[in-house]
Amino acid sequence: MVLEEMLIIRGPIDTPEIARAFREAGMPARITQTVVLEGLVAAKGTIGDIKALLREEVSRVERLREEFMIEEGGEESDAEEGGDTGPGRLYNPFLVTVERIAEDIVEFMAKYQPGDLVPMDDLKEWMVPSAGAAPGEEPPDTLESALHKVMAFSTLDENGLIKAEGEAVVVQGRMILEDIVITLPGDAVEDIDPEILKEHGVLTEMTVTPVPEYLLEFGPEAILEGDLDRIDEIAGDLEIDEEEYESFRAGVSLKRVVIGRTLEILEGRGTLTPAEVAEALGSSAVESAGEGWKIVLELTPEFVKGLLNDLKKVGLVRRKGEKFRAI
């Protein structure tokens, strides 16, 4: 069928509930579940090695920038020399993250000793301190600080320095800070030469996991009658991939434009063949009312024939021989 669209949702969903929500929005769907493999890339190395790697890479990029400026006969401005401008910024966020995590690990190890039993409430207070905040307000930079502390906590756990026991955590031991292994997103090192990674002892690894994937197929009735505003709300609630959903929504909207123009042509000109409808569609654009845009429809007779047959199935046109007319 021409009048159909597909939408892919990744991750677990309540299939009956999703089917009900789309049906109530005027877009009944046939849902098929499959499983895809998803790879998550991460970079692993000791805190000392990764800091050295990122600092070296920043210096290398800065040298390249300086060479480029000399070749171009320009000079770096004071803002470039002392600010956060230029290519070096690419790795600064990751370097800052590592340094903040290292600081949080030092703070944790100074606060708690091996053998200490740390209640979860104390850990929550350490991660998101409430002291100093006005009633109803969060301390400044709470989210960023909490994120770094969560990563520090995860790093301690991965290195066997803490162990969860019920509603508490037991401190298992200590390590030299620079020797603690840390895990960063693969983006942190994606542009660094593998040989340089190897020299610094930094390993890039991919973790492959199965992820449920759901294919939602919508027929002509859904394309014609669906409440797109309601579908927007459902998509937001499901956190559907934005690019995937935008492509789906655009497809539905464009098909509605084609349907509307096709019916206008049939109502105005009577009984036509698919080729005649395609010619009429191509000879007149769909224009906005004073908004400065138009849509040119360059559709093949084969596509238009499929469209007309789908419109016939839902009772909007009738067919007589090779010709169609609006009802």
Express as a percent the part of the chain with pLDDT over 70.
Answer: 89
Q: Dig out the tokens for 307 from the structure.
A: 């469209």
Phi-psi region of 131 (alpha: psi -120 to 50; beta: other; left: phi over 0): beta
pLDDT given for residue 75 in this prediction: 54
Which of 216-229 are b and which e, b meaning 16 or more Cβ less than 10 Å from the residue's Cβ?
A: bebbbebbbebeee
Instruction: Tell me how many degrees the CA angle 128-126-122 measures, rounded to the nearest 5.
Output: 115
pLDDT at 89 over 80: no
pLDDT at 282 over 70: yes
What's the pLDDT tens digit per position in 69-79?
888 775 554 44
pLDDT given for residue 95 in this prediction: 92
pLDDT at 130 over 70: no
Q: Quickly state the pLDDT bin for 87 (edges 50, 70, 90).
A: very low
Q: Quickly state the pLDDT bin for 63 (edges 50, 70, 90).
A: confident
End-to-end CA distance of the chain: 21
Determine the 3-state secondary structure of 308 from DSSP: helix
Q: Quickly state the pLDDT bin for 35 (edges 50, 70, 90).
A: very high
Mean pLDDT, range 38-65, rounded to an integer: 92
DSSP H helices in the chain: 15-24, 47-71, 78-82, 92-111, 120-127, 142-158, 194-199, 220-225, 228-238, 242-269, 274-283, 301-313
pLDDT given for residue 77 in this prediction: 46
Largest CA distance in the chain: 87
pLDDT given for residue 82 in this prediction: 45
pLDDT at 288 over 80: no
pLDDT at 86 over 50: no
pLDDT given for residue 97 in this prediction: 93
What's the pLDDT tens digit per position in 162-206?
999 989 999 999 999 999 999 999 999 988 999 999 999 999 999
On whether the CB atoms of residues 178 and 46 are closer than 8 A, the answer is: yes
Q: Quickly state the pLDDT bin for 133 (edges 50, 70, 90).
A: low
Express as a percent the part of the chain with pLDDT over 90.
Answer: 70
Average pLDDT, the chain: 88
Q: Quickly state the pLDDT bin for 153 (edges 50, 70, 90).
A: very high
pLDDT given for residue 78 in this prediction: 45
Determine the 3-state secondary structure of 307 from DSSP: helix
Determine the 3-state secondary structure of 13 from DSSP: coil
pLDDT given for residue 293 in this prediction: 80
User: What is the C-alpha to C-alpha distance for residues 324 and 327, in angstroms, rounded to an integer?
Assistant: 10
What's the pLDDT tens digit per position in 231-267?
999 988 888 889 999 999 999 999 999 999 999 999 9
pLDDT given for residue 284 in this prediction: 78
Q: Where are the domains of the chain?
A: 5-28+219-326, 41-207
Q: Name 215's bridge partners.
A: 8, 32
pLDDT given for residue 91 in this prediction: 47
More confident residue, 67 or 308: 308
Of 199, 184, 230, 217, nearest in space to 91 by CA: 184
pLDDT at 85 over 50: no
Q: Quickly state the pLDDT bin for 104 (edges 50, 70, 90).
A: very high
pLDDT given for residue 11 in this prediction: 87
pTM of this structure = 0.66
Write the DSSP symbol of residue 141. T
